């Protein structure tokens, strides 16, 4: 018997390969899930055994995805389980709050250590000149446990999905403190809630009040639920492999890799292509997670609701990554004061972001401008009580979006992305309260100013902004005229125009999200700015329209997929519900044939190497 070959096979089967994390798109995962499901079916309704089995299976899944980082998952599971029980058993309000603060501090320190350790080391160096050596503490623990040194301690590798499960355990502890849920009595049940493998590494973020009651319910999977689960899995695989990966590998990644080698039309097409790619990638993961969970009788919350149908930025963030949006609203925006008042946290985050801005930009001018603007708004709010609530609400809203950007990484590209979305939300809140005369006047004034800059400066960025302003002005003019004529037929036109504007705005903010997504802030900043400048330069410069037909002909498959993906996305909800339910109620033999055909079609689009899901890096 070839023992060395057997050992190598066992290592590939059970060991961790950092170059090949466990993905939903791999055959290995579906073999793993088939085995898990078989054991799950044998266990039946023995609740504790079922939850314990799925907990340990989820730990193995995470080990195959992120290696040693499974120790972090185990640590936060134990930490929040015991602290939440202390919170619930404490009768003194001060002790309750002290335990809550301890729990949140532990969780956030872990998150900051792995996501921002290099950033803080650079910060200390810039202030004091002191060189700090970043050490992987969990690597040291792992080496101590195995009695050797297989894990590197000189470099911190971001654990896959750490932001998701850290936010999930924070929401559990806070909900226990608020009295919204009772603490879980068994650590194995709680571990299952924290680590449930379908949604562990990229969400959705599941609130305890939504999921924990399901831990104690008997298994049920009806005929209709089975069909819906299979549909979501197929839908997610098609989004990921046909839309996201194919568009990325064959077009988007090439353009973003070196924008100056491509025309302005190609750069613009890549930008819109990336908007579809990131949606198909992230929502595709969520669809598969929802389907896999449903097959086991568990229901995960909806995370996407056709976000590119949104007619304004506020509506977009109610449809996109809904679990994160709800988390930020419930555990950040409202505690900051929401639309009621400013809190200590409001001013704390303003000062902190001013410091971060100074560090990342290398100059205190940005910081001074940031604080001065916040101070002016604060003074206006104090002097104008009737406007105070709205101004404070917008400050808190903007801070929330900045923190949402910082959640993705400590680099300028993510903070700018969050800030632009914050500006979009703030502008919309003022815009919707304006009369049509004022709206048209503001848009006309902005367009005129940008026109002056376009004709006098002539830089690509001003050219691009002026063109966009002209388009917005034309749309506003048409809607203004309709309004003056009594608004007949204006509602549908206004919605369509709002969708176009919102989709375009969100797409251009993604220029900073996509550019330089490396988690090393120095590298990310440099790559992000270079890529963003190059793409704006190409898009904002004069186009050679004669090249467009040739470009479309060269990339016709990519453009056809982009158009098809957007058309399907914009289909009415009732149409999608109709074909989803009809698929779910197909006779099982017919459904099996459809599954085989879809899987065969989907895997024709597989690229040379399977692409990891974009949100694994967060």
Residue 182: strand, helix, or coil: coil
Residue owning tokens 């599971």: 77
pLDDT of residue 81: 92
Among 256, 282, 254, 249, which Cα is nearest to 271's? 256
Read off the pLDDT of residues 443-490 as tens digits, 9 standing for 90 and up. 888 888 877 777 887 777 777 777 777 887 787 777 777 766 665 555
- Cα separation, 554 vs 587, in Å, equals 42
- Percent of the chain with pLDDT strictly greater than 70: 77
Q: From residue 230, give the alpha-carbon distance in Å to each of 287, 350, 600.
A: 10, 47, 15
Read off the pLDDT of residues 329-351 as tens digits, 9 standing for 90 and up. 888 787 777 667 766 667 777 77
| Lookup: tokens for 476 | 């506003």
Burial readout 349-367 (b: 16 or more C-beta within 10 A, e: otherwise): bbeebbebbbbbeeeeebb
| Lookup: tokens for 455 | 């004709």
Among 614, 617, 616, 618, which Cα is nearest to 274's? 614
Average pLDDT over every residue of 589-604: 86
Q: From residue 106, give the alpha-carbon distance in Å to each of 99, 111, 379, 597.
A: 11, 9, 36, 49
pLDDT of residue 519: 46
pTM of the model: 0.87
Cα–chain-centroid distance for residue 137? 27
Q: Are 273 and 558 in contact (CB under 8 A)?
A: yes
Strands (E), 280-416: none
Angle 59-279-327 from CA coordinates, rounded to 5°: 60
DSSP characters over 547-599: GHHHHHHHTHHHHHHHHHHHHHHTS-HHHHHHHHHHHHTS-HHHHHHHHHHHH
- Cα separation, 170 vs 77, in Å, equals 11
Least confident of 154-163, 228-237, 549-558: 154-163
* Residues near 378 by beta carbon (within 8 Å), at least 6 away in sequence: 342, 395
Cα–chain-centroid distance for residue 456? 39
Q: From residue 462, give the alpha-carbon distance in Å to each of 256, 267, 292.
A: 21, 17, 48
Read off the pLDDT of residues 123-166 as tens digits, 9 standing for 90 and up. 666 666 667 666 677 666 666 665 655 556 666 677 777 888 88
Q: From residue 429, give the alpha-carbon distance in Å to each of 88, 477, 602, 608.
A: 39, 20, 42, 46
- Cα separation, 436 vs 476, in Å, equals 9
DSSP characters over 222-284: -HHHHHHHHHHHHHHHIIIIIIIIHHIIIIIHHHHH-GGGS-HHHHHHHHHHHHHHHHHHHHH
Q: How far apart are the first and last CA of the chain?
A: 44
- Percent of the chain with pLDDT strictly greater than 90: 12
Q: From residue 435, give the alpha-carbon distance in Å to each of 431, 438, 445.
A: 8, 5, 16
Q: Where are the alpha helices (DSSP H) in 384-459?
A: 385-408, 412-431, 436-456
pLDDT of residue 468: 78
Read off the pLDDT of residues 53-90 as tens digits, 9 standing for 90 and up. 999 999 888 888 887 788 888 999 999 999 999 988 88
- Cα separation, 207 vs 164, in Å, equals 11
Average pLDDT over every residue of 575-582: 90
Q: From residue 501, give the alpha-carbon distance in Å to each of 34, 427, 496.
A: 45, 13, 9
Residue owning tokens 């792995």: 114
pLDDT of residue 291: 92
Q: From residue 351, give the alpha-carbon distance in Å to each of 163, 368, 374, 541, 569.
A: 24, 10, 10, 38, 41
| Mean pLDDT for all residues in the chain | 80
Task: Map out the domains of the chain as residue ranges.
Answer: 23-219, 222-304+547-618, 310-433+489-543
DSSP code of residue 154: S
pLDDT of residue 319: 92
Is it the case that residue 308 has pLDDT exceeding 90?
yes
């Amino acid at each position: 018997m070839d023992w060395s070959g057997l050992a190598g096979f066992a290592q590939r089967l059970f060991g961790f390969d950092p170059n090949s994390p466990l993905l939903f798109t791999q055959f290995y995962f579906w073999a793993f899930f088939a085995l898990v499901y078989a054991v799950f079916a044998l266990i039946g309704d023995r609740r504790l055994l079922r939850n314990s089995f799925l907990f340990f299976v989820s730990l193995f899944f995470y080990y195959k995805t992120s290696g040693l980082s499974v120790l972090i998952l185990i640590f936060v599971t134990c930490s929040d389980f015991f602290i939440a029980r202390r919170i619930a058993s404490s009768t003194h309000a001060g002790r309750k709050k002290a335990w809550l603060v301890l729990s949140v501090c532990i969780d956030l320190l872990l998150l900051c250590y792995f996501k921002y350790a290099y950033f803080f080391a650079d910060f200390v160096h810039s202030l004091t000149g002191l060189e700090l050596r970043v050490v992987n503490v969990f690597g040291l623990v792992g080496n101590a446990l195995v009695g050797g040194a297989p894990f590197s301690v000189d470099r911190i590798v971001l654990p896959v999905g750490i932001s998701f499960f850290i936010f999930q355990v924070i929401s559990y502890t806070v909900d226990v403190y608020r009295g919204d849920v009772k603490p879980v009595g068994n650590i194995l049940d709680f571990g299952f809630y924290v680590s449930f493998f379908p949604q562990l590494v990229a969400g959705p973020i599941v609130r305890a009040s939504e999921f924990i009651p399901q831990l104690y319910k008997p298994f049920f999977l009806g005929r209709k639920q089975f069909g819906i689960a299979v549909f979501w899995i197929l839908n997610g695989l098609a989004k990921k492999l046909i839309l996201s990966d194919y568009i990325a590998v064959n077009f988007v990644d090439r353009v973003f890799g070196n924008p100056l080698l491509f025309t302005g039309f190609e750069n613009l097409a890549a930008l819109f292509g990336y908007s579809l790619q990131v949606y198909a990638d992230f929502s595709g993961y969520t669809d598969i997670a929802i389907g896999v969970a449903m097959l086991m009788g568990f229901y995960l919350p909806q995370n996407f609701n056709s976000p590119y149908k949104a007619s304004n930025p506020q509506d977009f963030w109610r449809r996109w990554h809904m679990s994160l949006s709800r988390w930020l609203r419930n555990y950040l925006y409202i505690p900051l004061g929401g639309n009621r008042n400013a809190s200590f946290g409001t001013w704390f985050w303003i000062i902190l972001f001013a410091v971060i801005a100074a560090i990342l930009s290398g100059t205190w001018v940005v910081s001074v401008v940031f604080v001065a603007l916040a101070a002016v708004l604060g003074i206006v709010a104090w002097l104008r009580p009737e406007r105070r609530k709205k101004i404070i609400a917008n400050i808190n809203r903007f801070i929330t979006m900045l923190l949402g950007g910082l959640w993705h990484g400590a680099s300028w590209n993510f903070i700018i992305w969050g800030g632009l979305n914050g500006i979009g939300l703030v502008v919309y809140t003022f815009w919707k309260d304006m009369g049509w005369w004022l709206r048209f006047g503001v848009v006309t004034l902005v367009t005129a100013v940008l026109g002056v800059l376009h004709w006098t400066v002539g830089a690509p960025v001003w050219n691009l902004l002026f063109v966009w302003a002209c388009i917005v002005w034309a749309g506003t003019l048409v809607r203004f005229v309709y309004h003056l004529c009594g608004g007949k037929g204006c509602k549908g036109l206004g919605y369509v125009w709002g969708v176009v504007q919102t989709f375009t705005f969100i797409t251009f903010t993604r220029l900073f999200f996509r550019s330089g997504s490396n988690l090393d802030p120095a590298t990310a900043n440099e790559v992000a700015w270079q890529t963003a400048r190059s793409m704006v330069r190409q898009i904002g410069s004069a186009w050679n329209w004669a090249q467009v037909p040739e470009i479309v002909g060269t990339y016709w498959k990519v453009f056809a997929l982009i158009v098809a993906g957007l058309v399907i996305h914009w289909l009415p909800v009732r149409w999608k519900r109709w074909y989803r339910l009809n698929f779910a109620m197909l006779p099982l033999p017919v459904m099996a044939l459809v599954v085989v055909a879809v899987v065969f079609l989907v895997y024709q689009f597989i690229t040379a190497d399977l692409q990891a899901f974009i949100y694994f890096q967060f």
